C-alpha cells in the first residue's frame, strides 16, 4: 500500500488529507486518484509538487518514478507567502 | 513643504514630545526622487539625525513613521506604512512594515510622515487631525492591553487610525511591537522605543487626499494589476485560501521548518499545526487590509469567539520550534501576545533557546520542549517582566551573553531568526546573516522562495545565491518604500512556472537560474542601463509613474532599492557594525541537521565574500566611496 497525502489548496479541493492506494508508478497513482475523485483532474495532480519519501520526483524518474509498498507520496500545490 | 509630485501630501511632521514642540520636517522633491518614501525615507531621516552616541533608549532616538507615494491611493496591497528606529534588540536601524489603515489615515491627516523624538515625563497619547496636534494625558490608558486601548481611543476619536503599545512596550520588552487595528509592526522592538518615550498611542484622522498626477492612467494600471493578482495562483488562490500558514507543510517537506530550536528541519506533528488544518478546523473567513485584493488575513473561531488567526511565523516559532502540536493553543497565544503587545517570532525564539538551555542544564527554568501548558503565564511574565520573564524579555542574544549557549542561540545581529531553517536553503541563510535588521526572513531577501517553496533551484549550492539575494533585497526594499506590500510582488513570477512545477520549462528555469548569476549581477551593477523600461509583470513601476509623475522604470526601482539598502548599511557601519556582525549561529554554519541527507550547513563565508563584492562593499562590509558615489549617497549627511 502507498500512503498518499495532500497539502495546500489541492487538499481543500479534494477534501481528504490522506488515503491508501496501490500503484507501481506515480503515473498510475495519478490515474487512480483521478478515478476516485473525478473533480480532480490528472493535469491538476501533475501540477503539484510531488515527493516520494522526502524526494522530489523531479530528482527521481518524474512521473515514471517507481513506488513500493510502504512508500509515502506527498502532493503539494503551489506555495508562496511568508 | 509642497511637492510637485503626485501621491505625496508634501508634509512631514516632527514632534518633540518632551518639549511638546511641533514643526515641519524639511523633505524636498529631490529627496523624493532619490529615496521615494517609506523605509528608505526613514533611513535617510535617521542617518541625518542620529549621532554615533545615540542609543535605542535615549531621547535622541527617533520613531520615524512613513508612508509611500502609493499609500492611500487605492493601489492594490498599498495601505502599508513603515516604522523605523534604532532597535533595542540589535542597537542598529530597524524598519517594521505594517498593513491596516494607519498609513492611509496619516495621509488623510495631511502628512507623508511623522517623526517622534524626545521622551515625555508622563504617559501621553497624540492626536493628529488635519494639521493640528494635541497632546493628551495617557495615565488612564497606561497598563491597558492593545485591544482595549484601541477601543477606548475609538470612543475618543471616532473613525481614526491608531498606533498603540501594550504592557510589553511599556515595560521595555526588547521585542515589543506596535499595533494598528489587528495589524502589527512586529519585529525588532519598535514598541519598546514607544514605551520608553512614554508614548502610549498615536491617533490620526482627517479628510485630505493624495492626488495622483494622472488619475485615468492610474485607474487603468490598478485595474490590470488587481486582475493580475487575482488570476495568479499564489495571490489569487493559495494566499486567500490558506493564508501564510499554508506554507508550513511545504517547508516541512523541504526540511526547512525550524524545529526544536532549529536543531531539525522537519517536525513529526507538522500536520496538526498546518495551514490546511487551520483552514479545515478553525477558519471562519479571510480578511484583508484596505485596498488589498489578496486578503491573506485569517479570522478563526476558538473557544466560541471569532478572533484574528496566526501567521505562518507565529505558528512556526510557537509550534514546531518548541515542539508544540496544539494549534488551538497557538490561536489563543496569538491573541494574547497581540494584546500584551509583543512579537511572536522573538517570543518563540527566546523561549526555544531557554528550553534548550534548560535541557542542557545551563539555565534551569523548567521550560521544556513539548511541555507548553503553562506558557501563557510565561508570556505574561515576559510582558510584565516578572520572574524569569524579566530575563526572557531581553531576547536570545542577551540570554546567551549571560548564561552561555552562543552556538545554539538562534539570532542574527541580536534578532531572533524567523521560521525558515536555512541549512536546507543556503541563500536564505546568507540573507539572514547580512540583513540590515538582523534575523528577518524578508529583509534577508526571501530567497527561500526560489530554493524550494515556489521554484526549485538547488537549495544547497552557493552559485548565484549572493547575486539573487542582492536583487531580491533591492526590489523588496523599493516596493516597501513605495507603500506596497511585498506580497504584491508574487505576481512578478510567471504563473506558467509557479503553477507547473514539473513542466519542462520550469525544470529548465530551475536548472538555469544558478548558472545565471553573472547575468543577475550585470543587472545588479547597471540596473538603469540594462532594464531602463517597465516589465510587463511588474505593474508597480507604472503605478508609481501614474501616481507621482516620477521618472520610473524597473532599473530605477532596483537602483532606489540598492540605495536604500546601502544607506541602512551605512548607518549601521557608522554605529560600529563590521563584517563580524553578519553572522549566523554555529549550529547553522558548522553542524548539519541530525540524520539529514545530504549533510549540509550554510557555507556563509564564501557567499558573504561574494555578496560584499556585488554590493560594492569592502571586505569589512563597508560600502566603498565608489559605491556611495554611484548610488548618489556620497556626502549623504546634510
Q: Determine, for residues A17 and B246 on separate chains, whether the beta-carbon distance falls below 8 Å.
A: no
Q: Would you say residue B20 has pLDDT above 70?
A: yes
Region B295-301 average pLDDT: 95
pLDDT value at B69 more than 50: yes
Comparing CB atoms, the residue among A58, A63, A77 nearest residue B238 is A77
pLDDT at A78 over 90: no
| Residue percentage of chain B with pLDDT more than 90 | 96
Question: Does residue A76 sit within a domain?
Answer: no
β-bridge partners, B63: B116
Provide the terminal-to-terminal Cα distance of chain B, rounded to the nearest Å.
Answer: 17
- Domain with A10 in it: 2-70
Ramachandran sector of residue B451 (left: φ over 0; alpha: ψ -120 to 50; beta: rest): alpha
Q: Is A21 within 8 Å of chain B by CB?
A: no
Which CATH number covers residue A64? Answer: 3.10.20.30
B270 touches chain A (CB under 8 A): no
What's the per-residue H, E or C state across B204-273? EECCCCCCCCCHHHHHHHHHHHHHHHHHCCHHHHHHHHHCHHHHHHHHHHCCCECECCCCECCCCCHHHH
Residues forming beta bridges with residue B457, ordered by sequence position = none
Domain contains A80? no
Alpha carbon of B312: minimum distance to chain A alpha carbons (Å): 6
Distance from CA of A30 to the nearest CA of B (A): 14
Q: What is the DSSP letter of A58?
A: G
**A78 in any annotated domain:** no
- Judge whether A77 lies within some domain: no
- A2 - beta bridge partners? A21
Contact B247 A77 (CB under 8 A): no
CB contact under 8 A, B454 and A78: yes
Render pLDDT for B378-411 as a digit per residue (tens, 0 to 9). 999 999 999 999 999 999 999 999 999 999 999 9
Position B637 pLDDT exceeds 60: no
**Residue A81, domain member (yes or no):** no
Contact B392, B378 (CB under 8 A): yes
The answer to whether the beta carbons of residues B241 and B280 sit under 8 Å apart is no
Q: What residues of chain B lie within 8 A of the CB of A74, using their CB? A: 253
For B446, nearest residue in chain A (alpha carbons): A82
| ipTM given for this complex | 0.96
pLDDT of the residue at B1? 64
Residue B638 has pLDDT above 50, yes or no: no
Could you tell me if B114 and B15 are in contact, meaning their C-beta atoms sit under 8 angstroms apart? Answer: yes
Is A54 domain-assigned?
yes
A52 is a domain residue = yes
**Domains in chain B and their CATH numbers?**
12-205 (3.60.9.10), 243-411 (1.10.569.10), 422-630 (1.10.599.10)
Report DSSP letters for B48-65, one per residue.
HH--TT--TTSTT--EEE
Count of residues for chain B? 638
pLDDT (0 to 100) of residue A38? 86
List all residues of chain B from 139 to 168 with a beta carbon under 8 Å from chain A: none
| Residue pair B365/B392 in contact by the 8 Å Cβ criterion | no
CB B89 within 8 A of CB B186: no
**Inter-chain residue contact A8 with B274, CB threshold 8 Å:** no
Q: Of A6, A41, A59, give the one whose Cα is nearest residue B452.
A: A59
* Other CB atoms within 10 A of residue B402 CB: 11
- The Cα B524–Cα B436 span in angstroms is 18
The predicted-structure confidence for B338-391, as pLDDT tens digits, reads as follows: 999 999 999 999 999 999 999 999 999 999 999 999 999 999 999 999 999 999
Does residue A27 lie within any of the structural domains? yes
**How many independent structural domains does chain A possess?**
1
- Taking only the tens place, the pLDDT of each residue in B557-603 is 999 999 999 999 999 999 999 999 999 999 999 999 998 888 899 99
Residues 6 or more apart whose CB falls under 8 angstroms from that of B574 comprise B47, B52
Amino acid at each position: 500500500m502507498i500512503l498518499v497525502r495532500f497539502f495546500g489548496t489541492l487538499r481543500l479541493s479534494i477534501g481528504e488529507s490522506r488515503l491508501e492506494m496501490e500503484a507501481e508508478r506515480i503515473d498510475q497513482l495519478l490515474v487512480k486518484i483521478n478515478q476516485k475523485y473525478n473533480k480532480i483532474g490528472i493535469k491538476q495532480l501533475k501540477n503539484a509538487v510531488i515527493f516520494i519519501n522526502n524526494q522530489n520526483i523531479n530528482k527521481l524518474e518524474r512521473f515514471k518514478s517507481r513506488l513500493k509498498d510502504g512508500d509515502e507520496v506527498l502532493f503539494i500545490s503551489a506555495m508562496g507567502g511568508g | 513643504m509642497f511637492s510637485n509630485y503626485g501621491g505625496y501630501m508634501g508634509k512631514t511632521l516632527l514632534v518633540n514630545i518632551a518639549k511638546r514642540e511641533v514643526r515641519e520636517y524639511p523633505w524636498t522633491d529631490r529627496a523624493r526622487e532619490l529615496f521615494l518614501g517609506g523605509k528608505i525615507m526613514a533611513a535617510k531621516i535617521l542617518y541625518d539625525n542620529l549621532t554615533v552616541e545615540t542609543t535605542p533608549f535615549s531621547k535622541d532616538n527617533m520613531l520615524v513613521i512613513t508612508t509611500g507615494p502609493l499609500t492611500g491611493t487605492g493601489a492594490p496591497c498599498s495601505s502599508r506604512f513603515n516604522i523605523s528606529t534604532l532597535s533595542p534588540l540589535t542597537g542598529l536601524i530597524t524598519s517594521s512594515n505594517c498593513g491596516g489603515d494607519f498609513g492611509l489615515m496619516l495621509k488623510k491627516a495631511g502628512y507623508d510622515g511623522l517623526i517622534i523624538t524626545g521622551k515625555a515625563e508622563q504617559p501621553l497619547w497624540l492626536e493628529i487631525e488635519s494639521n493640528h496636534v494635541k497632546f493628551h494625558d495617557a495615565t488612564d490608558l497606561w497598563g491597558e492591553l492593545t485591544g482595549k486601548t484601541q477601543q477606548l481611543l475609538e470612543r475618543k476619536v471616532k473613525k481614526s487610525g491608531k498606533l498603540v503599545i501594550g504592557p510589553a512596550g511599556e515595560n521595555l520588552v526588547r521585542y515589543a511591537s506596535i499595533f494598528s487595528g489587528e495589524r502589527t509592526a512586529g519585529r525588532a522592538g519598535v514598541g519598546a522605543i514607544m514605551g520608553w518615550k512614554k508614548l502610549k498611542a498615536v491617533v490620526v484622522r482627517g479628510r485630505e487626499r493624495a492626488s495622483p498626477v494622472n488619475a485615468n492612467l492610474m485607474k487603468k494600471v490598478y485595474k490590470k494589476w488587481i486582475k493580475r493578482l487575482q488570476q495568479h495562483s499564489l495571490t489569487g488562490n493559495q494566499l486567500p485560501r490558506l493564508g501564510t500558514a499554508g506554507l508550513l507543510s511545504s517547508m516541512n517537506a523541504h526540511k526547512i521548518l525550524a524545529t526544536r530550536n532549529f536543531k531539525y528541519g522537519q517536525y513529526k506533528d507538522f500536520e496538526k499545526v498546518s495551514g490546511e488544518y487551520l483552514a479545515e478546523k478553525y477558519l471562519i473567513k479571510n480578511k484583508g487590509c484596505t485596498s488589498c485584493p489578496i486578503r491573506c488575513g485569517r479570522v478563526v473561531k476558538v473557544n466560541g469567539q471569532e478572533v484574528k488567526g496566526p501567521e505562518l511565523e507565529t505558528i512556526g516559532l510557537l509550534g514546531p520550534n518548541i515542539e508544540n502540536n496544539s494549534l488551538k493553543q497557538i490561536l489563543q497565544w496569538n491573541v494574547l501576545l497581540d494584546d500584551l503587545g509583543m512579537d511572536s517570532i522573538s517570543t518563540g525564539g527566546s523561549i526555544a533557546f531557554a528550553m534548550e538551555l534548560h535541557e542542557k542544564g545551563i539555565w534551569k527554568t523548567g521550560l521544556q520542549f513539548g511541555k507548553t501548558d503553562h506558557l501563557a503565564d510565561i508570556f505574561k511574565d515576559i510582558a510584565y517582566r516578572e520572574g524569569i520573564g524579566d530575563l526572557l524579555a531581553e531576547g536570545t542574544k542577551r540570554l546567551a551573553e549571560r548564561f552561555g549557549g552562543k552556538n545554539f542561540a538562534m539570532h542574527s545581529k541580536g534578532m531572533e531568526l524567523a521560521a525558515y531553517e536555512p541549512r536546507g536553503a543556503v541563500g536564505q541563510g546568507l540573507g539572514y546573516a547580512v540583513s540590515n535588521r538582523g534575523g528577518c526572513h524578508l529583509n534577508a531577501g526571501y530567497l527561500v522562495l526560489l530554493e524550494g517553496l515556489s521554484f526549485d533551484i538547488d537549495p544547497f549550492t552557493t552559485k548565484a545565491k549572493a547575486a539573487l539575494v542582492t536583487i531580491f533585497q533591492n526590489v523588496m526594499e523599493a516596493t516597501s518604500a513605495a507603500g506596497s506590500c511585498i506580497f504584491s510582488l508574487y505576481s512578478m513570477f510567471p504563473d506558467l512556472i509557479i503553477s507547473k512545477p514539473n513542466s519542462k520549462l520550469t525544470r529548465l528555469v530551475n536548472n538555469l537560474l544558478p548558472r545565471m548569476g553573472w547575468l543577475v549581477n550585470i543587472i545588479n551593477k547597471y540596473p538603469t542601463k540594462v532594464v531602463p523600461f517597465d516589465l510587463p509583470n511588474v505593474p508597480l513601476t507604472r503605478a508609481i509613474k501614474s501616481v507621482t509623475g516620477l521618472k520610473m522604470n524597473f532599473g530605477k526601482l532596483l537602483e532606489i532599492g540598492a540605495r536604500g539598502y546601502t544607506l541602512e548599511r551605512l548607518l549601521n557601519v557608522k554605529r560600529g557594525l563590521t563584517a563580524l556582525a553578519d553572522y549566523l549561529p554555529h549550529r547553522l554554519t558548522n553542524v548539519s541537521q541530525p540524520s539529514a541527507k545530504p549533510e549540509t550547513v550554510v557555507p556563509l563565508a564564501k557567499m558573504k565574500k561574494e555578496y560584499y563584492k556585488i554590493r560594492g562593499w569592502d571586505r569589512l562590509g563597508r560600502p566603498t566611496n565608489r559605491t556611495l558615489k554611484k548610488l548618489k549617497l556620497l556626502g549623504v549627511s546634510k
